[in-house]
Amino acid sequence: MDRLSRPSSLMRGWQDVTWSSVLNAKPSLVLLVGSFLCVLPVLVRGVADGPDLSSHLRFAQAFFESIKQGNAYPAWQHNANSGFGDGSFRVYSPLFYYVLIAVRALTRDWFLSFRLVTWLLAFAGSWSIFYWVRGWGSRTQAILAALIYCFGPFRMNELYGSAMLPEFGGAVWFALLLGFTERLATNQVPHNRLSLVRALVALCSAGLVLTHIPLAMMAVFVIPMYALFRRDRNKGSRKLSDLFLPAILGGALSAFYWMDLLYELPLVKGTMVDSAQRFDFRANLAFSTSSQSPWSWYVNFLFVTTFALVVPGLVLLFGSKRFEIQRHSALLTVLVVGLFTFFMTTPLSSPLWVYVPKLSAMEFPWRWLAASSILASGIAGFSFPILCSRVVAAKAEHENISNAKNQSARQLYSRARLNLLLSSGALLVAFSFAISYPLRNAMFLDRQAFQAVLESSRSSTGLEEWLPRWTTSRTVGEAPQKESRLVAISGRNVSIDSWLSESRQFTVGAGNATVATLRTLYYPYWKFQTKAGLVLSANPDDNGILKIDVPPEVQTIQMRFVRPPHQIVGTCVSLLGALILSSMVFFSVLRKTTPSCS
């Protein structure tokens, strides 16, 4: 057998590379240091500013205040738009904010909490990549893939360029699902641990939905495709069911959220805002000719530099004469699935965006680069060590064989060096862009600047797409200047008894029947009742602001945001799912452990 085709020679050659000894340390320690270096500018200079940061701060503060008032799952974003509120809590994934608030409860400091959560998510993201790649590669390859992911162009853009923190965190669940899929599909899970792994798949599926819906939509395509290619052909049906049923359970666990999203997305403006350009998928594809955005060049650069991470895999597959069939199968699967995610960001995928139901609701096709970044990092981390080992082995072969065979060995050595050079150049392009643009051009907020943004964002104007469909951004911009009172009634006195996020009470003095206008946007789940039990009708005015009919005489009126039937059903389904999940974990732990080869 050719020396270059022996796995032992490959890995021995790689281990001879002096700096690889760093990667042979404790994986968690290496990843902890790598993630620390990834977020070091945040830890030293402050929170990275970006287009989405103000929205996250506004959302987090209102979420925190509502939870403190006793609402375990807040229903109304009461601070936004100068206190008029909006419907973002009804449709936006909440898990990132629960994590942020949990850290905030420990630190009592928003500035410190944002930085700690950033580091936590960076470490969790790198570890999840390590876990996935370790299922089909060596420890060295898995560590390298995780480190490449930490400093990948799109990953750096999520953190430093756009402040897309929920997407930054959602990648953790996505990569973990890939890791569990790899182990289930290739029969690496012992029978006595199947229930536990299925429970973890369900938990990760729910976590992904609760963290970032666009990534969850990508997973619907990517995970089954990955499982289909990687499945054990002899036990394919059973292995696919090991993923399908836990995914259903994950949907049940997250039903308390997505039932609201499903039923109430038509109640907010959503893609009705500037639908001709901003939310048209055709204008948000990489290399789109219909885009009028001044940032389209940046999307194209992100695509090219993220695709550069795939080059080592392409070189390994098509630049070498021999390769292990088993390893070839794993790499080929990741490459095919990865190329599919890149395809989804280009105009070539337009027919899918048009005809696949709900896909266009993702709005921004370039978001697929989040999945591409994960898969491309796995490809690069797996391939680069083998390319390095081939150079080392080819050099040794060239030096040790006789002169008669020297020409062939020289050609082999030259080809191995060329392959490594191409791969190194591609990685250099990717990392150079990540450092030279997202990181170098990042804007950081120190404690003082962060505090100023925190205070100004608390009641700032929210995103127009989260406004109830009865109003407009112009209305919420002008309304605070026209009327500063919480309850405005002509000819009658009003006293505010309490004004919380989801429950309010005020007393109206004696007078004729009239109409009261409240400092709240209309939403159909606001209900009003007098102390005497009389239910009052509520409607939007011409600007979408909430108004109610007030009867004569003194009235104490209670205002509550009620949970609609679909939310109650979703909560019950989630509780049932939690019960099933707990049972799976409980019986898995109780089951007697038997020795088994993974």
Q: Are residue 111 and residue 169 in the same domain, yes or no?
A: yes
Residues 231, 258, 102: CA angle, nearest 5 degrees: 95
570, part of any domain: no
What is the token pair recorded at 532? 């005497």
575, part of any domain: no
DSSP H or E run through 517? strand 514-521
**What is the chain's length?**
598
Domain holding 505, by residue range, is 483-561
Which pLDDT score, from 0 to 100, does residue 474 have? 84
Verdict on whether the full-model pTM lies above 0.85: yes
**C-beta separation of 359 from 217 below 8 A:** yes
Which pLDDT score, from 0 to 100, does residue 401 have? 64
Which pLDDT score, from 0 to 100, does residue 1 have? 33
For residues 294 and 276, give the distance between their C-alpha atoms in angstroms, rounded to a whole number.
16
Task: Please name which of 587, 418, 476 lies closest in space to residue 83, comparing C-alpha atoms.
Answer: 476
**C-beta separation of 488 from 96 below 8 A:** no
Strand order in the sheet with 538-540: 487-489, 514-521, 545-550, 538-540
Give the mean pLDDT per block of 10 residues along the chain (598 residues): 39 43 70 95 94 93 95 92 90 95 96 96 97 94 96 95 93 97 90 89 97 96 94 67 90 96 89 59 81 80 96 87 64 95 94 88 88 97 93 77 65 86 96 92 94 93 87 82 85 93 94 92 95 92 92 93 96 96 85 51
**C-beta separation of 316 from 295 below 8 A:** no
Q: Are residue 43 and residue 152 in the same domain, yes or no?
A: yes
**C-beta separation of 94 from 73 below 8 A:** yes
493, part of any domain: yes
586, part of any domain: no
What DSSP string runs through 341-409? HHHTTSGGGHHHHHHSTTGGGG--GGGGHHHHHHHHHHHHHHHHHHHHHHHHHHHHHHHHS-GGGHHHH
The two beta strands, 487-489 and 514-521, are antiparallel
Hey, what amino acid is at 545? Answer: I
Residues 168, 93, 356: CA angle, nearest 5 degrees: 90
Burial grade of 523 (CB within 10 A; 0-12, 13-18, 19 or more): buried
The two beta strands, 555-561 and 538-540, are unpaired
Q: Are residue 216 and residue 315 in the same domain, yes or no?
A: yes
Which pLDDT score, from 0 to 100, does residue 190 have? 86
Q: Are residue 427 and residue 492 in the same domain, yes or no?
A: no
What is the three-class DSSP state of 48?
Answer: strand
476, part of any domain: no
Q: Are residue 234 and residue 340 in the same domain, yes or no?
A: yes
For residues 580 and 257, give the distance between their C-alpha atoms in angstroms, rounded to a whole number.
18
Quick one: how many helices (H) and strands (E) in the chain? Answer: 23, 11
Q: Considering 393, 425, 447, which residue would you say is the last residue of a domain?
A: 447
For residues 523 and 264, give the distance between their C-alpha atoms in angstroms, rounded to a whole number.
10
**C-beta separation of 95 from 167 below 8 A:** no
Q: Are residue 309 and residue 399 in the same domain, yes or no?
A: yes
581, part of any domain: no
Rounded to a whole number of angstroms, the CA Rg of the chain reads 28
What is the three-class DSSP state of 431?
Answer: helix
For residues 153 and 431, give the distance between their C-alpha atoms in angstroms, rounded to a whole number.
7
Q: Are residue 103 and residue 198 in the same domain, yes or no?
A: yes
Hey, what amino acid is at 240? Answer: L
Q: Are residue 344 and residue 278 in the same domain, yes or no?
A: yes
Which pLDDT score, from 0 to 100, does residue 307 have? 97
Residues 245, 196, 127: CA angle, nearest 5 degrees: 100
For residues 378 and 381, give the distance between their C-alpha atoms in angstroms, rounded to a whole number.
5
The values of phi and psi at residue 429, to 5°, are -60, -45
For residues 141 and 174, give the distance between their C-alpha atoms in angstroms, rounded to a whole number.
19
Total domains, the chain: 2
Q: What is the CATH number of the domain that holds 490?
A: 2.60.40
Which pLDDT score, from 0 to 100, does residue 12 have? 42
Q: At a CB cut-off of 8 Å and minimum separation 6, what does 562 contact?
A: 525, 526, 527
151, part of any domain: yes
Q: Considering 447, 469, 497, which residue would you say is the last residue of a domain?
A: 447
**C-beta separation of 195 from 591 below 8 A:** yes
80, part of any domain: yes
**C-beta separation of 476 from 492 below 8 A:** no
**How is the chain split among helix, strand and coil, in percent rounded to 5?**
65, 10, 25
Which pLDDT score, from 0 to 100, does residue 273 have? 58
Q: Are residue 261 and residue 327 in the same domain, yes or no?
A: yes
For residues 506 and 461, give the distance between their C-alpha atoms in angstroms, rounded to a whole number.
26
Q: Are residue 232 and residue 365 in the same domain, yes or no?
A: yes
What is the token pair recorded at 538? 């509520």
Q: Are residue 409 and residue 555 in the same domain, yes or no?
A: no
Q: Are residue 443 and residue 487 in the same domain, yes or no?
A: no
Buried/exposed 14-35: b ≥16 CB within 10 Å, e otherwise: bbeeeebeebeeebeebbbebb
